[in-house]
Amino acid sequence: MNSRLSSILGIDFPLAFVASILFFSFADFAISDDGDGWLIEADLLKGWISGARSPALVTTSADNTPRIEAGVLSNSTTQVLFGDQRIQSENRTGARFRLAQKLADEGDIGIYAAGLYLADGDKDSLFASNQSGLPILGRPFFNSNTQLSDAQLVSYPNVLVGQVGVSTGSEAYLGDIGLSTAFIHDKEIELDFHVGYRFISFRDALYVREDLRSIDAGGFIPLDTTFVVQDSFAAQNQFHGGSFGLSLLKRAEYWSYGIQSNVSLGGLNRTLRTRGSTDVTIPGLPTDNYAGGLLALPTNIGNYKSSKFVAVPEIRLHANRNITSKLSLNFGYNVLLLPQTWRAAEQVDFNVNESQIGGGALSGLSRPEFRGASSDIWIQTLSLGVGYRW
């Protein structure tokens, strides 16, 4: 399912990684002890991005559960297999590169450029029944017409066999370019003010797919009829703005220690793409295609956009150990807050008007609908790398 998820995110991974190395990252403005000259740093990252709130997406029930109660959240025997918690909070890896130069002989003026890529947090989960329809699997929702908890069956004994897969993924790019100037610059202490341009991109996706087959020989649906039901939500957040901050560096004989504070002010452009489809194939007949799955239906399928003015604060702590006069070993911790973002899972409207399912005409409330829910993202990284100055 990773290839499908990459398509939803719109990512060519190798190309994105190369671009991130060249353009995007957290900035580190501590430059060579020697004053003028170039400094290049490369770090490996271990990162965390705060999780997104997800509704219950897949459930199971006891084997003897009546069909009308199977997979329904209000049923005491129902268990949630996926969702009803924060998702996409797994550890991830990444890389950061920085390039800086002091322009003046005294080392008071400098330029910098930096780039970071925090790797995709892809996760695939698959839940499947055996050929008799066990275990019972369902996709829960709140029925806006009956005002009761409900569920769409994925598998049920002697009625339906199937599987449901859930894929999630997210990734972040960051980039900085600008100027720094030293208020204090001596052999032990350096205090810099920096100003520049910052770019941040965060995007994530949620994709749910059901593959079902009818096994009820006497049912309303012809035997061996197959269904493919798909819902996808892809969110993208892009920040462009000015960056301002202070950097304090303390030097010792072989070590230097620093703290940086930064705030970026600018516009956050948010987009959401919602898609859904259902394919039905009756044996011996052509496949019928319908707009809408379960949680992505004609009432919320579409492209949505919004912009917000936001402030993005950041703090970085770092230590550098000189190996030679030109080579150093670097350690760091960075935390950044990106507010008012759109997350894919948080755009899911759990209220569903089932009249639309399978291509039906809307009758009743226009649900699900676009939510436009926003939340704050914390991005944290630990870094280990090397620096080289010349």
What pLDDT does 253 receive? 83
Q: How far apart are the first and last CA of the chain?
A: 46
Count of Cβ atoms closer than 10 Å to residue 53 Cβ: 15
List, for the chain, all residue ranges whose pLDDT scores fall below the cut of 50.
Answer: 3, 11-35
Whole-number percent of the chain with pLDDT over 90 = 79
Within a domain: 156: yes
Q: Radius of gyration of the chain from Cα atoms?
A: 26
Residue 24 domain flag: no
In a domain, 15, yes or no: no
Alpha-carbon gap, residue 179 to 189, rounded angstroms: 19
**Residue 194: inside a domain:** no
Q: Tell me how many domains the chain contains.
A: 1
* Per-residue pLDDT reduced to its tens digit, 250-268: 988 889 999 999 999 999 9
Kindly report the number of other CB atoms within 10 A of residue 272's CB atom. 22
Lookup result for tokens 């790019």: 173
In a domain, 145, yes or no: yes
Residue 74's domain comprises 2-9+48-86+121-168+201-305+339-380
Does 115 fall in a domain? no
Residue 115 pLDDT:
94
Determine, yes or no, domain membership for 74: yes
How confident is the model at residue 317, as a pLDDT?
96
Q: Is residue 183 part of a domain?
A: no
Amino acid identity, residue 346?
E
SS3 373: coil
3-state SS, residue 35: coil
- Return the pLDDT at 102: 82
Report the predicted TM-score, pTM, of the whole model to 2 decimal places: 0.86
**The predicted structure's pLDDT at residue 4:** 55
